[in-house]
Chain A
Amino acid sequence: MSAVLDQHGHAHEHHPSGIMRWVTTTNHKDIGTMYLWFSFAMFLVGGFMAMVIRAELFQPGLQVVQPQVFNEMTTYHGLIMVFGAIMPAFVGFANWQIPMMIGAPDMAFPRMNNWSFWLLPPAALLLVTSLFVPGGGAGVGWTMYAPLTVQQGPSMDMMIFAVHLLGMSSIMGSINIITTLLNMRAPGMTMMKMPMFCWTWLITAYLLIAVMPVLAGAVTMTLTDRHFGTSFFSAAGGGDPVLYQHIFWFFGHPEVYIIAIPAFGVISQVIPTFSRKPLFGYASMVYATASIAILSFIVWAHHMYTVGLPTAGQLYFMYATMLIAVPTGVKVFNWVATMWKGSLTFETPMLFAIGFLFLFTLGGFSGLVLALTAVDVQMQDTYYVVAHFHYVMVAGALFAAFAGIYYWLPKWTGRMYNETLGKWHFWLSIIFFNLTFFVQHFLGIAGMPRRIPDYAPQFAEFNKISSIGAFGFGLSQLLLLYIVVSTIRSGKKAPERPWEGADTLEWTHLPTPAPYHSFEKPPVVK
């Protein structure tokens, strides 16, 4: 990684106060903070919906909600967690960290950055309030498959507009991130000297620019099918509902990596810091990340093995999907090799990073199982799939976000979190997470279908365990809220460099906490 010659930290703290500070801000740190708090709020909303789902599934029969409401909960839980919680969380990290890591004073387009964030609250409002309009929420699943979407009430239109707003926000954010990384790096900070987190965001932003417009196109066509007499996805009018699935998953599979790749970036910062070694195989990490991103465009139909693909198509998508294991294996190998013979310590960020390493890899393995066409036609739409993607999304992306929060909280707030409580948060999360989702593999193999509120009595025991795990996991996250709030309000003052193994510019060249304006004069990187 790069060594740095001179230092330019600045501390002009003039900015509006009160609510107008947040409404009008163009400061990347303020906007990053808003993204992170928004994401946490959405995490609680989506988490509440998960609790409703697991309460209903606690035992067979219908106890808590009606089937329509259950469908709404699974739909909104997925949409809120993907678009409202995880994606904005990593955009929050990007806003805070990218300028500081490359020695830039701010993002390339600060006003557009403000606009990117402020599109999110109206989108969230549209989405959540669509649950309460006449006809109820749109229980169509987060994938919004046609032709069910054409048959819904006004809530579907609100959902479509919410997705439009979220897409616009993501595209503007991505333009900002790419432009910042390409044009705003400090002198001497070549592309191959950028911290891995920046590389992962550069690649993710390109993915977003390519696929968010495709999702926007898909929901726009759904809207015109609903209201303007077109038949893009209606077989009766000459359209094809399966084409919707192709378009959706052309977006949807890269979306998995849009969530996972920034998580890889956070892990690639945390593991070297707490191993006190440089990242092993930096260049191969860059190329592996780019390979994963490129491959993600050509594997989409592995989500659609049961729609009647030709055998040659099934074979192609099976082998192409399995190919992704190669660059992913390179990354996992490099993280393990970074730790090998390092001076390891196990503070909370490192614990979450190691938790990520084990559990994300497990999620990758179950993904390989599902890549096999012959297996997938048995497992399609069972709880095995639910278990698989929660290992990727929760133990992968969310644990990486937790690692990032604990890692950078001292830099953001100038205060240290309570290490004991952080470790409690980790252990409670990892135990309850596995209690919730590991058993779902067994349920799926035994044939329990997803998105159904009732189930056969033979699934009762594992469902009970899963629900207890989910309630525990949900409650454990309130501990994170307490830790973050108590750190901000009364945490011990953080030392200038709380992690001696950290070597990126925000740790080596800026005071702790980071000043409101940083790097007005760029540092020179050797």
Chain B
Amino acid sequence: MQSMHEERRSRNLRTGIVLAAIAAAFFIGILIKQYLLTHR
């Protein structure tokens, strides 16, 4: 039971980190895109 709990926690953490990385990529991406568009 305990290991199942731990397994779920680490699975949740992995999912959360992937989603946070996607959000960070969108944030950084829009800054870079805008920088490139205005500094040609």
Q: Which residue numbers of A lie inside 8 Å of B, CB to CB?
A: 108-109, 112, 171, 174-176, 178-179, 182-184, 209-214, 216-218, 220-221, 231-232, 238-240, 243, 247
Contact A221 B11 (CB under 8 A): no
Q: Which residues of A contact B23 (CB under 8 A)?
A: 171, 175, 209, 212-213
Contact B16 A213 (CB under 8 A): no
In whole angstroms, how far apart are the Cα atoms of A211 and B22 in the complex? 11
Q: Which of A183, A184, A212, A243 has the most CB of B within 10 A?
A: A183
Q: Does B2 contact A (CB under 8 A)?
A: no
Contact B27 A240 (CB under 8 A): no
Contact B26 A210 (CB under 8 A): yes
Q: Which residues of A contact B27 (CB under 8 A)?
A: 213-214, 216-217
Contact B16 A109 (CB under 8 A): yes
In whole angstroms, how far apart are the Cα atoms of A108 and B15 in the complex? 10
Out of A179, A213, A214, A240, which one reaches B12, CB within 8 Å? A179
> Could you name 11 residue pairs across A and B whose Cβ atoms are closer than 8 Å?
A171-B23, A179-B16, A212-B23, A213-B23, A213-B26, A214-B26, A214-B30, A217-B30, A232-B35, A238-B38, A243-B38
Out of B12, B20, B31, B39, which one reaches A221, CB within 8 Å? B31
Out of A175, A220, A221, which one reaches B19, CB within 8 Å? A175
In whole angstroms, how far apart are the Cα atoms of A109 and B24 in the complex? 19
Q: Which residues of A contact B19 (CB under 8 A)?
A: 174-175, 178-179, 209
Out of B8, B11, B30, B34, which one reaches A213, CB within 8 Å? B30
Instruction: Tell me the nearest residue of chain A to B39, going by C-beta.
Output: A238
In whole angstroms, how far apart are the Cα atoms of A224 and B3 in the complex? 48
In whole angstroms, how far apart are the Cα atoms of A247 and B27 in the complex? 11
CB distance from A86 to the nearest CB of B (A): 21
CB distance from B20 to the nearest CB of A (A): 6
CB distance from B29 to the nearest CB of A (A): 8
Q: Which residues of B contact A221 (CB under 8 A)?
A: 31, 34
Out of A108, A182, A247, which one reaches B34, CB within 8 Å? A247
In whole angstroms, how far apart are the Cα atoms of A212 and B22 in the complex? 11
Instruction: Tell me the nearest residue of chain A to B20, going by C-beta.
Output: A175
In whole angstroms, how far apart are the Cα atoms of A109 and B39 in the complex? 41
Instruction: Tell me the nearest residue of chain A to B15, going by C-beta.
Output: A179
Contact B12 A109 (CB under 8 A): yes
Contact B15 A182 (CB under 8 A): yes
Q: Which residues of A contact B39 (CB under 8 A)?
A: 238
Q: Which residues of B contact A216 (CB under 8 A)?
A: 27
Q: Which residues of B contact A239 (CB under 8 A)?
A: 38
CB distance from A462 to the nearest CB of B (A): 41
Q: Which residues of A contact B25 (CB under 8 A)?
A: 213
Q: Which residues of A contact B35 (CB under 8 A)?
A: 232
Contact A213 B24 (CB under 8 A): yes
Q: Evaluate whether A217 and B31 lie within 8 angstroms (CB atoms) in the complex, with A179-B12, A182-B15, A183-B12 already known.
A: yes
CB distance from A106 to the nearest CB of B (A): 11
Contact A178 B15 (CB under 8 A): yes
Please provide the 5 A-B residue pairs with the shortest distance between their CB atoms, ordered closest to farther.
A213-B27, A217-B30, A213-B26, A108-B12, A175-B19
Q: Evaluate whether A243 and B22 lie within 8 angstroms (CB atoms) in the complex, with A108-B12, A213-B30 already known.
A: no
CB distance from B27 to the nearest CB of A (A): 4
Q: Evaluate whether A240 and B37 lie within 8 angstroms (CB atoms) in the complex, with A182-B15, A209-B23, A213-B26 already known.
A: yes
Q: Which residues of A contact B11 (CB under 8 A)?
A: 183
Q: Which residues of B contact A175 (CB under 8 A)?
A: 16, 19-20, 23
Q: Which residues of A contact B8 (CB under 8 A)?
A: 183-184
In whole angstroms, how far apart are the Cα atoms of A183 and B7 in the complex? 11
Other A-B pairs beyond A108-B15, A171-B20, 13, CB < 8 Å: A108-B12, A109-B12, A174-B19, A175-B16, A175-B19, A182-B15, A183-B11, A184-B12, A213-B27, A217-B26, A217-B30, A232-B38, A239-B38
CB distance from A254 to the nearest CB of B (A): 12
Q: Which of B8, B35, B38 has the most CB of A within 10 A?
A: B38
Instruction: Tell me the nearest residue of chain B to A168, going by C-beta.
Output: B23
Contact A243 B34 (CB under 8 A): yes
Q: Which residues of B contact A218 (CB under 8 A)?
A: 30
In whole angstroms, how far apart are the Cα atoms of A216 and B30 in the complex? 9
Q: Which residues of B contact A220 (CB under 8 A)?
A: 31
Q: Which residues of A contact B34 (CB under 8 A)?
A: 217, 221, 232, 243, 247
In whole angstroms, how far apart are the Cα atoms of A213 and B22 in the complex? 9
Q: Which residues of A contact B22 (CB under 8 A)?
A: 209-210
Out of B12, B15, B16, B38, which one reaches A231, CB within 8 Å? B38
In whole angstroms, how far apart are the Cα atoms of A483 and B34 in the complex? 49
Q: Which of B11, B26, B39 has the most CB of A within 10 A?
A: B26
In whole angstroms, how far apart are the Cα atoms of A171 and B20 in the complex? 8
In whole angstroms, how far apart are the Cα atoms of A171 and B21 in the complex? 11
In whole angstroms, how far apart are the Cα atoms of A176 and B19 in the complex? 10
Q: Which residues of B contact A211 (CB under 8 A)?
A: 26
Q: Which residues of A contact B31 (CB under 8 A)?
A: 217, 220-221
CB distance from A28 to the nearest CB of B (A): 14
Q: Which residues of A contact B30 (CB under 8 A)?
A: 213-214, 217-218, 247
CB distance from A520 to the nearest CB of B (A): 11
In whole angstroms, how far apart are the Cα atoms of A176 and B25 in the complex? 18
